[in-house]
Amino acid sequence: MIAKSISKLYFKLSGWKTVGSIPSDVKKCIIIGVPHTSNWDFIYARLGLYIFDYKIRYLIKDSMFKNPIAAWFFRTTGGIPVNRSKSTNLTGELAQLLKNADTLYIAIPPEGTRKRVKRWKTGFYRIAVDCNIPIALAFIDYKKKQAGFMKIFYPTGNMIEDFKVIESFYSPEMAAIPDHYNPQIFERDD
């Protein structure tokens, strides 16, 4: 596949490498991509996923689909447009996609934007619990020049405790712009 070869060459020339993987017996999962603080995150994540040879779908803001050439590119590479200006049933639609598929990986940047947020969006967790599928903890680490997977996490349904575990895998030092990353999924007093 050309995309895989180009991605491998780019990673090699730029000094990046992929680490970890999704086990072959995991046929469906939510992939969370963290941290998300730069436009480069998309490039490294997409190239890394080509190297892993995973066919994925991913969420991207709908404004990226206004230009016909960009729309073609994002749809071809697995993009699902998201209208962030109004409330939709996106979580339900993604859950239905997963339930109807034999094999499907959906990548979600839970921060929802490249700017610092007070809390992550939690739809990724609700979808995983609803569909009884794991969450692949994906990352991009600019300091180490690595992209990949740290762990396959099976949610227990105890959202607060599960979020503490998920948070523990990520740190601001990994981000392209560390000040834009908030390592807490939700606001709390602890």
Per-residue model confidence as pLDDT tens for the chain (190 residues): 798 999 999 999 999 999 999 999 999 999 998 888 898 998 999 999 999 998 899 888 888 899 999 999 999 988 888 876 666 777 788 888 888 889 999 998 887 667 776 778 888 999 999 999 999 999 999 999 999 999 999 999 999 999 999 989 999 899 998 888 887 777 665 5
- Whether 42 is covered by a domain: the verdict is no
DSSP letter at 129?
A: H
- What residues make up the domain containing 132? 2-31+50-180
- pLDDT reported for residue 182: 81
- pLDDT reported for residue 148: 96
- pLDDT reported for residue 112: 62
- Whether 24 is covered by a domain: the verdict is yes
Asked if 84 and 114 touch (Cβ cutoff 8 Å), the reply is: no
- Whether 37 is covered by a domain: the verdict is no
**What total of structural domains would you count in the chain?**
1
Name residue 36's amino acid: H
> Encoding tokens for residue 146?
């690595």
Distance between CA 106 and CA 82 in Å, rounded? 13
Q: Is the dihedral of CA 66, 72, 77, 79 positive or negative?
A: positive
Run of H or E residues at 123:
helix 123-131
- Whether 189 is covered by a domain: the verdict is no
- Whether 59 is covered by a domain: the verdict is yes
- pLDDT reported for residue 51: 95
- Whether 96 is covered by a domain: the verdict is yes
- Whether 156 is covered by a domain: the verdict is yes
- pLDDT reported for residue 31: 95
> Encoding tokens for residue 51?
């190297």
